[in-house]
Amino acid sequence: MIKKTPMGTTVKDQLRANALDKAHIFILANGSIRGSLIHATRMVHEMKGNHGLGVLETLVLGHAYMATALMAMPLKGEDRIQLKISCSGPIGGLRTEANALGEVRGYLHKNPIPVQDTVKNTDLSPFFGAGILTLTRHTQTARQPFTGQVALAYGNIAKDVAHYYATSEQTPTALSLSIYADSGGTVKGAGGLLLQALPGATETDILTLEERVQSMPSIGEAFFRQEKADDLILETFAALNPAIIDRRRVEFFCRCSEEQMGMYLKALPEEDRKDLLANGPFPLEITCHNCNSIYHFSRQALKKT
Tens-digit pLDDT profile for residues 49-70: 999 999 999 999 999 999 999 9
Question: By C-alpha distance, which of 9, 4, 64, 16 is closest to 223?
Answer: 16
Residue 6 lies in a domain: no
Q: How far apart are the first and last CA of the chain?
A: 19
Residue 277 has pLDDT above 80, yes or no: yes
Judgement on whether residues 226 and 270 belong to the same structural domain of the protein: no
- For residues 275 and 161, membership in a common domain is answered with no
pLDDT at 196 over 80: yes
Please report which confidence band the pLDDT of residue 187 belongs to, taking 50, 70 and 90 as the band edges: very high
Residue 224 covered by a domain: yes
Helix (H) or strand (E) holding 262: helix 258-266
183 assigned to some structural domain = yes
Mean pLDDT of the residues in the chain:
94
Q: Is the pLDDT of residue 79 over 90?
A: yes
User: Does residue 4 form part of some domain?
Assistant: no
Average pLDDT (180-202) is 95
Give residue 212's pLDDT band: very low, low, confident or very high (50, 70, 90).
very high
Do 122 and 264 belong to one domain?
no
Read off the CATH number of the domain in which 15 is found. Answer: 3.55.30.10
Q: Mean pLDDT throughout 216-232? A: 96
Element (H, E) at 177: strand 173-181
Question: Is the residue at 19 inside a domain?
Answer: yes
The enclosing domain of 299 has a CATH number of 3.90.1280.10
- Within-domain flag for 179: yes
Residue 86 pLDDT: 98
Across 237-252, average pLDDT: 97
Q: 149 pLDDT band (50/70/90 cuts)?
A: very high
Residue 122 pLDDT level (bands cut at 50, 70, 90): confident
Domain of 291, in residue numbers: 258-304
pLDDT band per the 50, 70, 90 thresholds, residue 305? confident
pLDDT at 173: 95
Per-residue model confidence (pLDDT) at position 9: 79
Do 144 and 272 sit in the same domain of this protein? no
Both 233 and 268 in one domain: the answer is: no
**Total residues found in the chain within this entry:** 305
Domain boundary among 252, 270, 290: 252
Q: How would you list the strands of the sheet with 187-197, edge to edge?
A: 173-181, 187-197, 33-39, 22-28, 243-249
R_g over Cα of the chain? 21
> Is 139 in the same domain as 275?
no
pLDDT surpassing 90 at residue 104: yes
Q: Verify that 226 and 296 share a domain, yes or no.
A: no
How many C-beta atoms surround the C-beta of residue 149 within 10 A?
Answer: 13
Q: How many domains does the chain have?
A: 2
| pLDDT value of residue 117 | 73
Residues 187 and 290 in one domain: no
Residues 270 and 242 grouped into a single domain: no
C-alpha–C-alpha distance, residues 42 and 13, integer Å: 11
Residue at 61 is within a domain: yes
**Domain boundary, last residue among 231, 252, 273:** 252
Considering the domain architecture, whether residues 22 and 159 belong to the same structural domain is answered as yes
How does residue 160 score in pLDDT terms, banded at 50, 70 and 90?
A: very high
Is 3 domain-assigned?
A: no
Both 224 and 270 in one domain: the answer is no
What is the pLDDT confidence band of residue 202, given thresholds at 50, 70 and 90?
A: very high
Q: How crowded is residue 266: how many other Cβ atoms within 10 Å of its Cβ?
A: 11
Co-location of 20 and 84 in the same domain: yes
